[in-house]
């Protein structure tokens, strides 16, 4: 390079700059004209407030000017926009600040590497080059120290190494020794002099004496004007024009920007694990709360639970039950049962649908109670001391289920029922195995009030899992829940041969007595004094007519009666008058037959719609027994539901605001780091993306943590979680994820706006 055609790197022509505040206008620079060349070590000096920093900031592209023109490598800058200045700062200027402006939580090596990566270097190359620069400033021993651990002088060396790493022609330094003692300050200045061999170094100092021996040019500023500009320490020795090592050019496209942003996000996470933990914890709390709120919203979307339940159609109030028939009206086959049982979210299929509405009473003094009273006799009769026993049913919440719903695997002890009166239940040990006890049965919707049946049942199996359910043999379920008890048929009997008519026409509970054969039946013994009870067997009667007549849905008798002559056993039974014992043969003839209706039990009410839809596709007609039995809204429950929905909606909005405000203020602590990144050349676009990557990462971790925790709690059997998890299908999950990412997006966007404002100041 010949001295003669040496072009100035930077040239200022009549630059003026004023600061405007509400009360005053300060003219910081007045018509300053200067030019700078490679190899110069310029000291700008002057008293405090004279405009030194303003001048340096304009040279460094950190501040704008009002008048005049600045040429960079001979090119004017009047048409420069924000992006051009950003590019200028990025590629043309290395900065050294009085306060070092390091990223404190980064290692020494990382601080230098950052500049190189931002300039487009690959990681490995950046590491090698960074080591070279650290060696040049004498910090090669410290590369793994955190920047905060260094002494002041070392910090300034590091900031110089970082400026070097940008590989620019120009290095600007504003009071680089301002915070250093004089000896360390001297070292820094001598280092800068060293660099000025192949750089243009422009340094602001109010302590010129310290720099005097090193600099090659002294510019004095007073009140915004250049009052002297002299060359000093000039020697004849020609500085060798060194070609500095150039970074391989990197195309700084979107992908590269994302990579750099992701890299810095990762470095932030790694170098500040405490902060990462804090953010993740905060976001986890937010995500867990939103998970609950969204789940509650879906749980309360359906309002059936706010309506009253009527047990006239289905006595069992169980919202997980679906009563199902074939769409073609044909009987349900074993194949049908298997098909239904294999559907998703189906717990079990009970082939005895009707028995599922029959109450049972197994435990005396819990389920039922006996009452004793003296029989009142008519005065004409001899006084009696006879005591009658009546039974009252206390717990009407237990309903039959058949063994269809369990298998051998569910048993801890014993076996599955084989005979009709064998049952399986839960007990803590096997002490009850083999014991027999009385069990009563009633049904609100299948039988008339006051009708009950009882039989001795034997416990043949003990379940592993604790439950209140008792599983009855299929035979008993089919006997009690036979299709005729749906009142399709009605029993008409007690033929009076004198009056020539049936005295009684009412439903009975037809039950099987294995000791009866052929046409034999046993009717109840009744109090002969209650003469309105025509069910009583006439004394001495041995033959009666039993007749069935079809009834329609309104229970009106239709069609011709079907009659049977029956043999009545002389022995009377001990049931109420509405139970009629008969032989298996007779029972099968009139009550036996195919099953047309089964009960499906779902994992949760939440799956009702999904299962009904699936059933329809497979050729079945299902109804939620719960839904068709609910009617009028119950005000309290309706209000409760609305309050819960309100709370959830409010909660989700409150979370949104809390996150934006709290996180943004936590993130604010970092603004200084972004300031540094900006001056070591990171584009604003990339800076903005760092937070998306970093916070997005924390959010992802928080979301995963929430889901894992939810699944753990669900399987641990925590009721609230279990209840809402049933409602978590694809859409709620998507909403949950979307909500949390939207929160992060809004938070980061809001932070970035704040950041942009700060960085552009």
In the β-sheet with 321-326, what is the strand arrangement from edge to edge? Answer: 346-350, 598-602, 321-326, 620-624
Select from 52-60, 339-347, 565-573, 677-685 the region that touches ligand ADP (CB under 6 A).
52-60
Stretch that binds ligand ADP, among 43-51, 86-94, 321-329, 732-740 (CB under 6 A): 43-51
Task: Report the nearest approach of ligand ADP to the CB of residue 191 (Å).
Answer: 22
Residue 506 to residue 45: CA distance in whole angstroms? 117
Q: How far is the CB of 691 from Mg ion (least distance, A)?
A: 31
345: tokens are: 């979210």
Residue 53 near Mg ion by CB under 5 A:
yes
**Which CA distances in Å does 551 have to 457, 559, 560, 565, 592?**
33, 8, 10, 21, 17
Cβ neighbors of 670 (< 8 A, separation 6 or more) are: 268
Q: Applying CB under 6 A, does 51 fall inside the site for ligand ADP?
A: yes
Q: Could you list the beta-strand ranges (E) of 403-539.
A: 411-414, 422-426, 436-442, 453-463, 471-472, 489-496, 501-505, 509-512, 520-522
Q: From the list Mg ion, ligand ADP, none, pick the one residue 73 interacts with, judged by a Cβ distance below 5 to 8 Å according to partner type.
A: none
Cα(193)–Cα(215) distance, rounded to whole angstroms?
Answer: 7
In the bound state with ligand ADP, the residue whose beta carbon lies nearer, of 174 and 404, is 174
Residue closer to ligand ADP by CB (options 224, 510) is 224
48 versus 342: smaller Cβ distance to ligand ADP = 48
Gap between the Cα atoms of 92 and 74, Å rounded: 14
Stretch of 48-56, 315-323, 461-469, 699-707 contacting Mg ion, by CB under 5 A:
48-56
How many Å apart are CA 28 and CA 16, to the nearest integer?
A: 8
**Cα four-point dihedral sign 372, 377, 383, 384:** negative
Q: Would you say 46 or 60 has its CB closer to ligand ADP?
A: 46
Half-sphere exposure of 421 (CA within 13 A, CB side): 19
Question: Cα separations (Å) of 625 from 310, 316, 599?
Answer: 10, 8, 9
Nearer to ligand ADP, 51 or 510 (CB): 51
Strand pairing report for 321-326 and 598-602: antiparallel
Q: Which is nearer to Mg ion, 30 or 589 (CB)?
A: 30
Q: Which one of Mg ion, ligand ADP, none interacts with residue 28, CB within 5 to 8 A by kind?
A: ligand ADP
CB of 217 to ligand ADP, least distance (A): 18
CB of 48 or CB of 312, closer to Mg ion: 48
Check: CB of residue 691 under 8 Å from CB of residue 748: yes
Nearer to Mg ion, 53 or 691 (CB): 53
Choose between 46 and 732: whose C-beta lies nearer to Mg ion: 46
Q: Does position 205 bind ligand ADP by CB under 6 A?
A: no
Please, what is the minimum distance in Å from the beta carbon of residue 203 to Mg ion?
12
50 makes contact, choosing from ligand ADP, Mg ion, none, with CB < 5 to 8 Å by partner type, with ligand ADP
Q: Which is nearer to ligand ADP, 53 or 356 (CB)?
A: 53
Site residue total, ligand ADP (CB under 6 A): 12
Give the separation between CA 610 and CA 534, rounded to whole angstroms. 51
Among 19, 73, 370, 650, binds ligand ADP (CB under 6 A): 19
Q: Which does 68 bind (CB under 5 to 8 A by kind): Mg ion, ligand ADP, none?
A: none
CB of 177 to Mg ion, least distance (A): 13
What φ, ψ does residue 588 adopt, rounded to 5°?
-60, -35
DSSP string, 683-726: -HHHHHHHHHHHHHHHHHHHHHHHHHHHHHHHHHT-HHHHHHHT
* Degrees, nearest 5: CA angle 670-673-677: 140
Stretch that binds Mg ion, among 47-55, 76-84, 298-306, 426-434 (CB under 5 A): 47-55
518 belongs to the binding site for ligand ADP (CB under 6 A): no
d(CA 281, CA 409): 43
Nearer to ligand ADP, 24 or 254 (CB): 24
With residue 346 as reference, give the H or E element that holds it.
strand 346-350
Looking at the Cβ atoms of 53 and 573, the one nearer to Mg ion is: 53
Q: Which of 43, 45, 53, 625 binds ligand ADP (CB under 6 A)?
A: 53
Name the one range near Mg ion by CB under 5 A: 17-25, 45-53, 482-490, 641-649. Answer: 45-53
Region binding Mg ion by CB under 5 A among candidate stretches 49-57, 225-233, 244-252, 330-338? 49-57
Among 9, 15, 28, 137, binds ligand ADP (CB under 6 A): 28
Count of CB atoms situated within 10 Å of the CB of 450: 9
Q: Does 26 bind ligand ADP (CB under 6 A)?
A: yes
Q: Is 64 in the site for ligand ADP (CB under 6 A)?
A: no
Q: How many residues bind Mg ion (CB under 5 A)?
A: 1
Min dist CB 25 to ligand ADP, Å, is: 9
- Dihedral (Cα; 403, 404, 406, 408), 10-degree rounding: 80
Angle between helix 730-759 and helix 684-716 axes, rounded to 10 deg: 150
Contact criterion met (CB below 8 Å) for 746 and 691: no
* Cα–Cα nearest to 43, from 192, 187, 181: 192
What is the spatial distance between Cα 7 and Cα 37, in angstroms, rounded to a whole number?
A: 7
CB of 54 to ligand ADP, least distance (A): 3
Question: Which partner from the list Mg ion, ligand ADP, none does 295 bind, CB cut-off 5 to 8 Å by kind?
Answer: none
Among Mg ion, ligand ADP, none, residue 54 binds (CB under 5-8 Å by kind): ligand ADP
Query: According to the binding rule CB under 6 A, does residue 50 interact with ligand ADP?
Result: yes
Q: How far is the CB of 256 from ligand ADP (least distance, A)?
A: 34
Q: How far is CA 518 from the centre of its chain?
A: 65
DSSP state of 81: -
Least Å distance, CB 201 to ligand ADP, is 18
Could you tell me which stretch among 51-59, 506-514, 612-620, 711-719 binds ligand ADP (CB under 6 A)? 51-59
Span interacting with Mg ion, options 50-58, 79-87, 487-495, 659-667, rule CB under 5 A? 50-58
Which element (helix H / strand E) includes 628? helix 625-629
Nearer to Mg ion, 53 or 359 (CB): 53
Of residues 361-400, which lie at the interface with ligand ADP (CB under 6 A)?
none
Q: Which does 199 bind (CB under 5 to 8 A by kind): ligand ADP, Mg ion, none?
A: none
Which positions ≥6 away from 270 have C-beta within 8 Å? none
Among 52, 199, 217, 607, binds ligand ADP (CB under 6 A): 52
49 is a site residue for ligand ADP (CB under 6 A):
yes
Binding site for ligand ADP (CB under 6 A): 19, 21, 26, 28, 46, 48-54
Which residues are at the interface with Mg ion (CB under 5 A)?
A: 53
């Amino acid at each position: 390079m010949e001295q003669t055609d040496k072009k100035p790197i930077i040239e200022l022509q009549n630059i003026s700059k004023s600061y405007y505040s509400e009360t005053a206008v300060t003219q910081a620079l007045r018509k300053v004209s200067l030019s700078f060349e490679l190899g110069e070590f310029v000291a700008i000096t002057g008293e405090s407030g004279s405009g030194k920093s303003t001048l340096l900031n304009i040279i460094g592209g950190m501040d704008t000017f009002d008048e005049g023109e600045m040429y960079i490598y001979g090119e004017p800058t009047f048409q420069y926009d924000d992006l051009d200045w950003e590019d200028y700062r990025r590629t043309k200027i290395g900065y050294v600040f009085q306060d070092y402006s390091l990223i404190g939580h980064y290692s020494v090596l990382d601080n230098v590497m950052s500049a190189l990566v931002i300039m487009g270097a690959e990681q490995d190359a950046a590491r090698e080059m960074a080591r070279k620069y650290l060696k040049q400033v004498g910090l090669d021993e410290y590369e793994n120290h955190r920047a905060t651990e260094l002494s002041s002088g070392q910090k300034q060396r590091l900031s110089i190494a970082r400026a070097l790493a940008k590989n620019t022609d120009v290095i600007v330094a504003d009071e680089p020794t301002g915070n250093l003692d004089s000896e360390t300050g001297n070292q820094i200045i001598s280092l800068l002099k060293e660099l000025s061999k192949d750089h243009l170094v422009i340094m602001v100092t109010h302590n010129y004496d310290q720099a005097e021996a090193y600099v090659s040019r002294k510019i004095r500023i007073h009140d915004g004007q250049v009052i002297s500009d002299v060359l000093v320490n000039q020697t004849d020795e020609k500085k060798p024009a060194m070609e500095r090592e150039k970074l391989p050019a990197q195309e700084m496209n979107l992908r590269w920007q994302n990579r750099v942003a992701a890299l810095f996000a990762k470095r932030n996470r790694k170098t500040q694990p405490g902060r990462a933990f804090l953010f993740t914890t905060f976001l986890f709390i937010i995500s867990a709360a939103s998970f609950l709120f969204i789940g509650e919203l879906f749980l309360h979307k359906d309002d059936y639970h706010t309506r009253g339940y009527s047990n006239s159609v289905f006595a069992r109030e169980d919202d997980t039950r679906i009563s199902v028939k074939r769409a073609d009206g044909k009987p349900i086959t074993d194949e049908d049962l298997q098909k239904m049982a294999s559907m998703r979210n189906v717990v079990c299929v009970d082939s005895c649908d009707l028995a599922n509405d029959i109450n049972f009473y197994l435990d005396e003094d819990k389920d039922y109670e006996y009452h004793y009273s003296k029989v009142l006799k008519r005065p004409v009769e001899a006084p009696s001391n006879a005591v009658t026993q009546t039974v009252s049913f206390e717990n009407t919440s237990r309903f039959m289920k058949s063994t269809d719903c369990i298998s051998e695997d569910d048993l801890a002890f014993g076996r599955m029922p084989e005979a009709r009166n064998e049952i399986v239940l839960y007990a803590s040990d096997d002490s009850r195995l083999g014991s027999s006890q009385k069990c009563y049965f009633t049904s609100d919707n299948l039988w008339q009030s006051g009708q009950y049946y009882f039989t001795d049942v034997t416990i043949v199996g003990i379940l592993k899992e604790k439950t209140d359910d008792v599983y009855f043999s299929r035979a008993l379920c089919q006997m009690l829940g036979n299709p005729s008890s749906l009142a399709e048929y009605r029993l008409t009997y007690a033929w009076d041969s004198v009056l020539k008519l049936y005295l009684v026409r009412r439903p009975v509970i037809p039950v099987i007595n294995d000791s009866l054969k052929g046409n034999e039946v046993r009717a109840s013994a009744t109090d002969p004094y209650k003469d309105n009870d025509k069910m009583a067997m006439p004394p001495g009667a041995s033959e009666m007519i039993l007749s069935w007549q079809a009834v329609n849905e309104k229970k009106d008798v239709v069609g011709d009666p079907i009659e049977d002559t029956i043999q009545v056993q002389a022995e009377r039974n001990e049931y109420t008058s509405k139970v009629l014992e008969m032989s298996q043969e007779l029972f099968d003839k009139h009550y036996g037959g195919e099953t047309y209706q089964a009960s499906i039990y779902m994992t949760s009410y939440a799956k009702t719609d999904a299962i009904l839809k699936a059933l329809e596709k497979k050729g079945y007609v299902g109804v939620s027994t719960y839904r068709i039995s609910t009617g009028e809204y119950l005000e309290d429950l309706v209000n409760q539901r609305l309050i819960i929905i309100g709370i959830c909606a409010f909660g989700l909005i409150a979370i949104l605001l809390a996150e934006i405000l709290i996180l943004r203020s936590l993130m604010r602590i970092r603004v200084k780091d972004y300031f540094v990144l900006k001056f070591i050349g990171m584009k604003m676009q990339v800076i903005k993306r760092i937070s998306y990557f970093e916070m997005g990462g924390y959010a992802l971790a928080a979301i995963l943590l929430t889901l894992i925790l939810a699944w753990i709690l669900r399987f641990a059997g925590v009721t609230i979680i279990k209840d809402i998890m049933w409602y978590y299908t694809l859409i709620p999950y998507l909403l949950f994820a979307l909500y949390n990412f939207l929160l992060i997006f809004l938070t980061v966007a809001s932070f970035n706006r704040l950041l942009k404002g700060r960085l552009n100041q």
